[in-house]
Amino acid sequence: MRPPRTASPSVVLGRRRARHRVRVVTDSTASLPPELRAGAIVVPLTVVVDGTSGREGEDIDADEIAAALASGARVSTSQPPRAAFEAAYAQAAAGGATGVVSVHLSGELSGTVHQAAAAAATAALPVRVVDSRTSGLALGFAVRQGALAAAEGAAGDDVARRAVRVAASSRAIFMVDSLDHLRRGGRISAPAAALGTVLGVRPLLRVRDGRIEVVQRVRTRAAAVDRLVGVAVESAGRRVSPLLAVHHVGPPELAFETARELEEQTGCQVVVSPLSAVLAAHVGPGTLAIVVAEGA
User: Which alpha helices (DSSP H) does the chain contain, by range?
Assistant: 62-70, 82-94, 112-120, 136-151, 156-169, 180-184, 190-197, 221-237, 253-266, 277-283
Residue 184 lies in a domain: yes
DSSP designation for 107: T
Residue 267 lies in a domain: yes
Domain boundary (168, 199, 225) is at 168
State mean pLDDT over 239-251. 95
Q: pTM of the predicted model, to two decimals?
A: 0.87
- In the chain, the amino acid numbered 113 is V
Backbone angles phi, psi at 245, to 5 degrees: -145, 150
Domain boundary (135, 168, 201) is at 168
Distance between CA atoms of 166 and 138, rounded to whole angstroms? 8
Burial 33-44 (b: 16+ CB within 10 A, else e): beebbbebbbbb
For the ranges 107-111, 125-129, 138-142, 218-222, which has the lowest average pLDDT? 218-222
Residue 2 lies in a domain: no
Q: What is the pLDDT of residue 1?
A: 37
State mean pLDDT over 8-14. 31
State mean pLDDT over 79-104. 97
List, as one string, the DSSP characters of 14-56: -SSPPS--EEEEEEGGG---GGG-TT-EEEPPEEEETTEEEEB
Domain boundary (122, 150, 168) is at 168
Domain count for the chain:
2
The whole domain housing 81 covers: 22-168
Q: Would you call 291 helix, strand, or coil by DSSP?
A: strand
Q: What is the pLDDT of residue 19?
A: 61
Q: Residues 86, 66: one domain?
A: yes
For the ranges 82-86, 89-93, 105-109, which has the lowest average pLDDT? 105-109
Residue 5 lies in a domain: no
List, as one string, the DSSP characters of 14-25: -SSPPS--EEEE
Residue 94 lies in a domain: yes
Residue 113 lies in a domain: yes
Q: Residues 195, 106: one domain?
A: no
Residue 15 lies in a domain: no
